[in-house]
Structure 1
């Protein structure tokens, strides 16, 4: 886990955030969910439509370019419900106060306390996108949102998230 140190009223806040779990095709799942709203084909068929060998009537190939276009359009339209078809989990070492602030920011965080300062935190992509677009400047929020670069790089790019922390 990477160590992050932030100034706080009590001195310094030390925090570690490690992304420990997410669906490997998270963005493909969300894009298939979006396209299935307007297609006669179910999402699972769209999800697997990856080459000219698997042609679906009236559909373009579901490649990275198509997925990126659908996700960017969903973000433009505020069509965030498609971003709920997943879960993302982190192991976090943080002060209990930081965890409580995070839980207050959204009711869709699930937290399990491992010991005094370590937590498993789970949510979905929609919550992270809403945090990224929000005004919450809490260090823990910034750390969680920064993991979008790994879990959902197309969405991170569309949100103009920095690719490396400074």
Structure 2
């Protein structure tokens, strides 16, 4: 079985972090998203740099604040049997699949679904491949999940 990441939202993690911060800020998400210049002030806000984004995402994962992880889509081209796709669809109602031809599928979901799958100990080989693409699409989230897995493994 093979799954190839073919598309994901640009600045996926920045979008999710801006969504989280906008819950507690008087500023709308688009202002937070674009607040990258340290010379420009946004009252009560730090610059929205990679460190800030990483910190917000780490906190969201700690708190289980997963709704912010839904502001995106991630798509793969997968070679899989129909049974594997049905199993995937049973794991979450938030997968969309399209059969391209016999054994070839287009699969789309969002970051929240992948995080929930990553934290589920009963992953299939297909879900493991999908989750492994987080290193590309959402490296900060992937890093947090990897650290959690190592900590659980050392217990």
Instruction: Specify if TM > 0.5.
Output: yes
Q: Is residue 68 of structure 1 aligned with residue 50 of structure 2? A: no
Q: Distance in 2 between matches of 1:54 and 1:144?
A: 39
User: Quick one: which of 117, 120, 126 aligns to 1:140?
Assistant: 126
Aligned match for 1:127, one of 93, 108, 113: 113
Relative to its length, the structure with more helix (as a share) is 2
Aligned to 1:103: 89
> What do you get for the CA RMSD once the two structures are aligned?
1.1
- Structure 1's consecutive aligned runs of 4 or more residues displaced over 6 angstroms after TM superposition are none
Determine the C-alpha separation between the residues in 1 that align with 2:10 and 2:27.
Answer: 23
Q: Does 1:51 align with 2:37?
A: yes
CA distance in 1, matches of 2:142, 2:131: 9
Q: Structure 1: 5+ residue runs without aligned partners?
A: 1-14
- Normalising by the residue count of structure 2, what TM-score does the alignment of the two structures yield? 0.93
Q: Which has the higher contact order (CA 8 A, sep 6+)?
A: 2
User: How many residues are treated as equivalent by the alignment?
Assistant: 148
Q: Distance in 2 between matches of 1:115 and 1:100?
A: 16
Q: CA deviation at 1:135?
A: 1.8
More strand as a share of residues: 1
What are the residue-to-residue correspondences of 1:4-43 with 2, within 5 Å?
15-43=1-29
SS at match of 2:78: strand
Query: Structure 2 unaligned runs (5+)?
Result: 150-155
